[in-house]
Structure 1
C-alpha cells in the first residue's frame, strides 16, 4: 500500500543503533514512498572520543542512511555516555523540538535497556510522544531492540525485551546488512553481538517467531492505525 504521505522518525542513541534495530523497516518503508528521518542524539566525540572518530561515525551514518532510503539525517551531537549530565528539561526539549519539526506518523525509539543513554532517550521520546499536542499525530509509537545493550539486561531485575510486533524484512535483509557494513568503526567479529552474523541471526530468529523469513521486532507502545497501512 502506498504511504507517500506518511513520515517516520527513528530516534537513535548513537550512530549504528538505527541500522541495528530498524534498518530493514526503514528500507521497506522508504521503498514504498514513505519519508524517513533519523535523529542521532549522541555522538562519539571529545572528551571520551577523538574528533577523528566523531567525524568518521557521522560519515558512516550518512553512507548507511543513503542505502536504506533516509530522507534527512539529524545529529544533535550530545556527548555519548554523558547525557546524564545534561539537565532533564533541556535534554527533553531537544528531542521534542525535532518531533515537532518532523511531525511523524510513526515514531520508533530505543528500548529502555542496559545503556544509560538509551534509557534517557527513551524517557525523553516518551515525553515528546505523549498523545497530546504534537503527539496526537503519532499513529505508531514503538521501541526497537539494539544488539548487545538490549540483551545484556539483568534477568528479572530489568525490563526484558519481548516483541509484540514484528515487521517482515525478508526482502530487505541484504540492504540492512550492507548498511551495517558502512559502520566499519562499530562492527566486530563474531561472537561479538555487533557482528554481521549476529545481526542476521537475530533477524532470522525474530522471523521464526512471527512466521516470516527475516524480521525486526518491536515493543509496541501505541498504535492507532492498521499495521498494513504502513507498507
Structure 2
C-alpha cells in the first residue's frame, strides 16, 4: 500500500470514483476499489484495463481488491479500510452515499466505522460523502442534501467516464451525469459542479 496521499477514496466498484469524485482525482489521490467481477459482457481484466486508462488520463493511483461483488460484508471491509487509512494517513477520505446498491451501503457503513474518532487509528480530518446517479434517481434516504461543492469541467468528466465503456448505461448515461452536474453547478452559480455531504470537516488553529 502506498503512503502519503492527501485524498483517499473508497470506491465500491471500478468507475464509481469518476462518477462521484472526479474533481478530486489527480496525483495526490489514491483510490481503493473493493472488487471487480467477471460478467458475460465484460471480464474483470477488461474492467481493470478501463481503470488503467482512466488513471493514466487523470493521474491517480489505485488498487483493486477481491471482495465478491454484490456480496460485500461491512465487517470484512473495515480492517482493510483502517489499514489503508493508517498507512496512507490522508487528510481527506471520501465514502459513497448509501443507495439501493448493497455494495455501496456496505462500503458506506464500513467507511463510517473506519473514520470514527479513535485513540490509535490515524485521525482523518475531513470525511466527505460522495453522490452518484443511483443515489439521486432512486433515493435511499432523505439525508443526502449536499453541503460541499466543487466546480468541474464537464467535458473532462464525460471523457473520463467514456473510458469505462462497459459501464456506460442508461440509468447513468452521460446525459444524466451532465444534468446532475448542471443542477449542482446552478447551486453555486457555476456551469457544472460535483456535490458532497460533509460528515466531518476540521479546521485546526
User: Is the pair's TM-score, using the shorter chain for normalization, greater than 0.5?
Assistant: yes
Q: Which runs of 5+ in 1 are unaligned?
A: 227-231
Give the secondary-structure state (helix, strand or coil) at the position aligned to 2:65. Answer: strand
Report the alpha carbon displacement of residue 76 of structure 1 after superposing the two structures with TM.
Answer: 1.0
Report the alpha carbon displacement of residue 20 of structure 1 after superposing the two structures with TM.
Answer: 0.5
The residue aligned with 2:44 is: 54
The residue aligned with 2:102 is: 116
Give the secondary-structure state (helix, strand or coil) at the position aligned to 2:45. Answer: helix
Q: Confirm whether residue 82 of structure 1 aligns to residue 71 of structure 2.
A: yes
Structure 1 CA distance for aligned equivalents of residues 198 and 51 of structure 2: 26
Alignment of 1:1-231 (within 5 A): 7-23=6-22, 25-27=23-25, 30=26, 35-45=28-38, 49=39, 53-70=43-60, 72-84=61-73, 88-132=74-118, 133-136=120-123, 138-153=124-139, 158-169=141-152, 172-188=153-169, 192-225=170-203
* TM-score between the two structures when normalised by the length of structure 2: 0.88
- 1:47-104 deviations in Å (ceiling 9; x for gaps): xx3595111111111111222220x2111121110114xxx43331122212222111
* Shift in CA distance, 110/162, structure 1 to aligned 2, threshold 3 Å: same
Equivalent pair of 1:12/1:39 in contact (CA under 8 Å): yes
Give the secondary-structure state (helix, strand or coil) at the position aligned to 2:166. Answer: coil
* Shift in CA distance, 149/42, structure 1 to aligned 2, threshold 3 Å: farther
Report the alpha carbon displacement of residue 198 of structure 1 after superposing the two structures with TM.
Answer: 1.1
Report the alpha carbon displacement of residue 112 of structure 1 after superposing the two structures with TM.
Answer: 1.7
* TM-score between the two structures when normalised by the length of structure 1: 0.79
Give the secondary-structure state (helix, strand or coil) at the position aligned to 1:81. Answer: coil
Equivalent pair of 2:42/2:166 in contact (CA under 8 Å): no
Report the alpha carbon displacement of residue 206 of structure 1 after superposing the two structures with TM.
Answer: 0.3
Q: Which runs of 5+ in 2 are unaligned?
A: none
Over 4 Å off, 4+ runs:
none
Equivalent pair of 1:67/1:175 in contact (CA under 8 Å): no
State how many pairs are aligned. Answer: 200
Report the alpha carbon displacement of residue 108 of structure 1 after superposing the two structures with TM.
Answer: 0.7
* Shift in CA distance, 26/69, structure 1 to aligned 2, threshold 3 Å: farther
Report the alpha carbon displacement of residue 106 of structure 1 after superposing the two structures with TM.
Answer: 0.8
Equivalent pair of 2:99/2:134 in contact (CA under 8 Å): no
